Amino acid sequence: MSIITYYSFIKRYSIFNSNRSVTRCNCVNANEEVTLNIIVGTRTRLNPPLPQEYWGNAVILKSIKVKAGELLENQLGFSALQINKVVVSQNYEEVIDSYKGWVEKPVMFSKKLLLMANKLSISSSPKFSVYSCDFGWGKPVGVRSGMANKGDGKVTLFPGVEEGSVDIEVCLLTSTLLAMENDEEFMEFVTV
């Protein structure tokens, strides 16, 4: 089993579309459950909110689960609505309950837990303005997550170098990526 990390600049594409494409290209049975793991920021969901200067992680992991058939039969709006429901529901009480649950039964997240069959795991640092950093040798030309953060189904989003753009780092099995090259819905949005 080999995993390829694919760097692309994708226009007008979304993680909702990629979840559909990966599910389709992996030939997942319509009755099997597919999962999208997302990280939800909790800084502004706490009361009082954490200050802007807070220098730590304040996140919770949430999973969106649907049957593969549902995902493939429905359009983009279906996936977006499922994710929106989970994100919007994360109010102060939900966040506190999540943290209390972790204190009572801690779970150390690992690649094995996050990157399993029929799962995509998405992470991002949208407020980290990496392209504005200059350590003396010029501004960055690209951002990557590093070797330790790789596994089948891992997707990382970074603010792009151009205003409003997004750089996407996708790690998938070679067989999935090769199948995606023939996926018309996916390739409609890709520029390499």
> Which residue among the candidates 97, 134, 167, 183 is catalytic per the annotation?
134
* DSSP assignment letter at 181: T
Amino acid at 31: N
Is 167 a catalytic site residue? no
Q: Which residues pair with 60 in a beta bridge?
A: 40
Residue 21, number of CB atoms within 10 A of its CB: 22
pTM for the model stands at 0.77
Segment 22-49, tens digit of pLDDT: 888 888 899 999 988 888 899 999 999 9
The domain locations on the chain are 3-191
On average, the pLDDT of the chain sits at 81
Low-confidence ranges of the chain (pLDDT < 70): 1-17, 109-116, 126-127, 191-192
The answer to whether 42 and 58 have CB atoms below 8 angstroms apart is yes
* Res 42: pLDDT: 93
* Res 90: pLDDT: 93
* Res 115: pLDDT: 60
Which CATH superfamily hosts domain 3-191?
A: Chloramphenicol acetyltransferase-like domain (3.30.559.10)
